[in-house]
Chains A and B, each alone.
Chain A
Amino acid sequence: MTALELRGIEATYPGRSSSLKPVLANVDLQVGPGEMLALIGPNGSGKTTLLRVASGGLQPSAGTALLDGRDLTALTARERARHIAVVPQDGPIPNGLFVREMVSLGRTPYSRLLLGPTLHDRQAVTWALEAAGVENLAERFVDELSGGERQRVILARALAQQARVLLLDEPTANLDLHHQVAMLELVRGLCRERGLAVLTAVHDLQLAALFYDRVALLSAGQLVSQGSPEAVLTAPLLLEAFGQRVVLSAHPTHGVPLVALVPNGNARRLTASG
Chain B
Amino acid sequence: MAARAARRPPGPLVLGGLSVLLVASLLFAAAFGAVQLRPDDLVRMTLNHLFGARFEPTWRPQDEAIFFAIRLPRVAGAAIVGAALASAGVLFQGLLRNPLADPYALGVSGGAALGGALGFLLSLSFTFLGFSPVPILAFAGALIAMSLVYTLARVGGRAPIVTLLLAGFAVSAIMGYAVSFLLILNDRLQLNLPRVYGWLLGGISVTQWSQLGLALIMVGVALGGGWLLRHSLDALSLGEESAQQLGIAVESDKRLVIVLGSILTGAAVALGGLIGFVGLFAPHVTRTIVGPRHTWLLPAAALVGAAFLVLADLLARAILPPTEVPVGILTAFVGGPFFLWLLRRERREYRL
**Interface residues, chain B, with chain A CB atoms under 8 Å away:** 1, 3-7, 97, 99, 155-157, 228, 231, 234-235, 237-239, 241-242, 244-250, 287-288, 291-293, 295, 348, 350-351
Q: Report A100-155 residues with CB < 8 Å from chain B CB.
A: 101, 105-106, 108-109, 111, 113-114, 116, 139-141, 143-144, 146
A256 to chain B, nearest CB (A): 31
Q: How far is the CA of A177 from the CA of B237 in the complex (A)?
A: 30
**Neighbour of B238 across the interface among A14, A92, A98, A111, CB < 8 A:** A92
The reply to whether A101 and B156 form a contact with Cβ atoms under 8 Å apart is no
Q: How far, in whole Å, are A157 and B241 apart by their CA atoms in the complex?
A: 15
**Residues in chain B near residue A98, CB distance under 8 A:** 6, 291
Q: Which of A15, A88, A116, A141 is within 8 Å of B6, CB to CB? A: A141
A92 adjacent to B351 (CB under 8 Å): yes
Nearest B-chain residue to A81, judged by Cβ:
B247
Contact A97 B241 (CB under 8 A): no
In the complex, given contacts A76-B249, A85-B245, what are 5 additional A-B residue pairs having Cβ atoms less than 8 angstroms apart? A80-B247, A97-B292, A108-B246, A140-B4, A143-B348
A88-B241, A91-B238 are contacts. A96–B348 as well, Cβ < 8 Å?
yes
Question: Please, which residues of chain A bring their CB within 8 A of the CB of B292?
Answer: 94-97, 101
Q: Which of A88, A111, A114 has the most CB of B within 10 A?
A: A111
Q: A15-B155, A140-B4, A140-B5 are in contact. Are A109 and B246 (CB under 8 A)?
A: yes
With contacts A108-B234, A111-B231, A161-B246 taken as known, whether A96 is within 8 angstroms of B291 at the C-beta atoms is: yes
**Is A77 in contact with B291, judged by CB distance below 8 angstroms?**
no
Q: Of all chain B residues, which has the CB nearest A145?
A: B1
A–B pairs, 24, beta carbons within 8 Å: A14-B156, A15-B156, A57-B244, A76-B247, A76-B249, A78-B249, A84-B245, A88-B239, A88-B241, A92-B237, A94-B292, A96-B291, A96-B292, A97-B237, A98-B6, A98-B291, A105-B234, A109-B246, A111-B231, A139-B7, A140-B5, A143-B351, A144-B4, A161-B246
CA gap between A146 and B3 in the complex, in Å: 11
Kindly state whether residue A179 has any CB partner on chain B within 8 Å.
no
Is the pair A86, B245 in contact by a Cβ cutoff of 8 Å? yes
Q: Is the CB of B228 within 8 A of A77?
A: no
The interface on chain A, measured as residues whose beta carbon lies within 8 A of the other chain's beta carbons, has a size of 39
Chain A hits for B348, CB < 8 A: 95-96, 143
**CB of A93 within 8 Å of the partner chain:** yes
Contact of B241 among A91, A111, A143 (CB under 8 A): A91
**What is the number of contacts between chain A and chain B, taking CB atoms within 8 Å?**
95
Check A57 against B245 for contact (C-beta < 8 Å): yes
Chain B residues with Cβ below 8 Å from A245 are none
Residue of A nearest to B237 (CB): A94
Distance of A270 Cα from B69 Cα, bound (Å): 95
**Nearest neighbor of A101 in chain B, beta-carbon distance:** B293
A108 in contact with B291 (CB, 8 Å): no
Using A92-B238, A93-B351, A139-B6 as known contacts, say yes or no to A146 and B1 having CB atoms under 8 A apart.
yes
In the assembled complex, which residues on chain A have CB atoms less than 8 Å from the CB atom of B237? 92, 94, 97
A79 CA / B246 CA spacing, docked (Å): 10
CB-CB under 8 A from A77, the residues of chain B are: 244, 247-250
Please state if A94 and B238 are interface contacts (CB–CB under 8 Å): yes
Q: Which residues on the B side are within 8 Å of A116 (C-beta)?
A: 295
State whether A139 touches B246 (Cβ < 8 A).
no
Which residues of the other chain, B, contact A143 by a CB distance below 8 angstroms? 348, 351
Whether the pair B238, A109 counts as a contact (CB closer than 8 A) is no
Give A54 to B211 CA distance when docked, in angstroms.
Answer: 52
